[in-house]
Amino acid sequence: MSCEIKAKERAGIINPMYTCQPAGAQYASIGVEDCTAIVHGGQGCVMFVRLLFSQHLNENFDIASSSLHEDAAVLGAVHRIEGAVDVLLMRYPHVKVIPIITTCSTEIIGDDVEGVIRKLNKGLLKEKYADREVHLIPVHTPSFKGSQVTGYDVAVKAFLQHFAEKTEPNGKINLITGWVNPGDVTELKHLLRMMDVDATVLFEIENFDSPLMPDGSAVSHGSTTIEDMKGTANAIGTIALNKYEGGKAAEYLKEKFQVPAIIGPTPIGVRNTDTFLKNVSKMTGKPIPEALVRERGKAIDALQDLTHMFFADKRVAIFGHPDLVIGLAEFCLDLEMKPVLLLLGDDNPTYVKDPRLLAIQEHAEFDMEVITNADIFELEDRIKNKGLELDLILGHSKGRWVSIDNDIPMLRVGFPVFDRAGYYRHPTVGYNGAIWLAEEMANVIFNDMEKKKDREWLLAMW
């Protein structure tokens, strides 16, 4: 029985799992109120990312481009930032926060983003927009480093670095959620409400799931405010749920303002949710209430109906964001399943030392592999050419063909999900997330058993 943690052997990417850094920074930016980012690069770096968000959330989000054309790519493009800031401020009177998100092209040509921001602060903003509060924030996300995951991490830190300001203690905790769905934020806020804990949720993206109102007034946007971000320096503590998506910001607040930080665990499954609540309780001194014991009981009751009867020994492959994959793998182990293949999709050298992965490695009761810097072809190749047998795949929609072509049931989870309706609405975290995940996993397996005539009588008589 062994668990190998290693990097993909091929140099290239066949069917990528993640996109590049600027996309992650853009996802963070839409979580902030009165914020429209300017992506400093070619127009595709924005157009496609906006489409991607829209594929996943069925909503539109405004992000601007500095529209790099050939002349600017050759001669330098900082004037495109100056133009973009002015145009954006003129036409969008509500905009207060403008992150300037760099890309591969503008990092290679070496545009001085900090310099142009200083120039704008002293010049344009003073002269033309003196009565407006405007924050220009450099976010360096060259596409040739990291991935969307690090891009998100870098942007969260950049926001807090700009805003966090020590004043009076505010009695709140900072909850840095990582790259999650609106349904997750709803669930996290629910847990905190039950705990009677006041929290600054970064980012408050429940409104990504917005209504269609009779007066046509609804707009999808995050609602984390400037005040929220300023106040993060005055919190009792920070809990960052995902190590790789927001962990950097938690460490920053700890080093700079001595705000205690707890990083992880991603509260996927009952056990990690327990730990999360315990951490909240320790940090705030608030007890875990009876009502959550009951809620937890409902989750355990639901899982107990499924685990040893249906889930036990089912072989699962999981791909997606690192914290999500690790959290799901831990949950699968609790459910008596065998997560035989985990795919983490960028070249972050710290994955191989992640204590959660090392713990899984230490206790593996079956042969499993953890591949870093992976692409989706790593999964397909093992199924098609190396005899990997699977009962279930957990991953996002870009891997749909692996499931379809190899006739392996797959539960869509993570980002993006565009070939199933409304998944952003459901939580994967908390006790309700545990119920949703387990029951949906069971349902895709049940559907598959019926389709393949695999003991479908078993389903009718339980």
Partner 1 sequence: MPYHTFKCSECLPDRQKHAVIKGPGEDITSCLPLGNLNTIPGTITERGCAYCGAKHVIGTPMKDVIHMSHGPVGCTYDTWMTKRYISDNDNFQLKYTYATDMKEKHIVFGAEKVLKQNIHEAFDAFPNIKRMTLYQTCSSALIGDDMDAIAKQVMKERPDVDIFVCNAPGFGGTSQTGGHHKINIAWINNKVGTFEPEIKSKYTINYVGDYNIQGDCEIMTDFFQRMGIQVLSSFTGNGSYDDLRSMHKADLNVLECARSAEYICNELRVRYGTPRLDIDGFGFDLLAESLMKVAMFFGDDCVAKAKEIIDEEVARWKPELDWYAKRLKGKKICLWPGGSKLWHWAHVIEEEMGVKVVSVYSKFGHQGDFEKGIARCGEGALAIDDPNELEALEAMYELKPDCILTGMRPGEVAKKIRIPYLNIHAYHNGPYKGFEGWVRLARDLYNAIYSPVMNLAAIDISKDDFDTDTGFKTRTMLSDPGTPREELHTEHMYTGKMDIVTHLRGKTYEFPAPDKPVTDAV
Nearer to partner 1, 213 or 293 (CB): 213
We find the least distance from the C-beta atom of residue 303 to partner 1, in angstroms, to be 33
We find the least distance from the C-beta atom of residue 53 to partner 1, in angstroms, to be 8
Nearer to partner 1, 203 or 377 (CB): 377
Q: Which residues contact 18 (CB under 8 A, 6 or more apart)?
A: 147, 148, 149, 321, 345, 346
We find the least distance from the C-beta atom of residue 271 to partner 1, in angstroms, to be 33
Count of CB atoms situated within 10 Å of the CB of 370: 26
Nearer to partner 1, 41 or 231 (CB): 41
The span from the CA of 264 to the CA of 286, in Å, is: 19
Torsion of CA 277, 278, 280, 283, to 10 degrees: 180
* Strand residue runs (E) in 354-438: 368-372, 392-395, 410-412
We find the least distance from the C-beta atom of residue 78 to partner 1, in angstroms, to be 11
The span from the CA of 272 to the CA of 44, in Å, is: 39
Helices (H), 140-284: 148-163, 182-194, 226-231, 247-257, 269-284
Residue 350, CB-side half-sphere exposure with 13 Å CA sphere:
10
Lookup: tokens for 271: 């056990």
We find the least distance from the C-beta atom of residue 104 to partner 1, in angstroms, to be 4
We find the least distance from the C-beta atom of residue 70 to partner 1, in angstroms, to be 6
We find the least distance from the C-beta atom of residue 150 to partner 1, in angstroms, to be 12
Nearer to partner 1, 224 or 348 (CB): 348
DSSP 8-state assignment for residue 30: T
Nearer to partner 1, 12 or 285 (CB): 12
Nearer to partner 1, 214 or 387 (CB): 214
Place of tokens 């704008």: 120
Nearer to partner 1, 79 or 256 (CB): 79
The span from the CA of 159 to the CA of 269, in Å, is: 30
Residue closest to 396 by CA, chosen among 415, 377, 409: 415
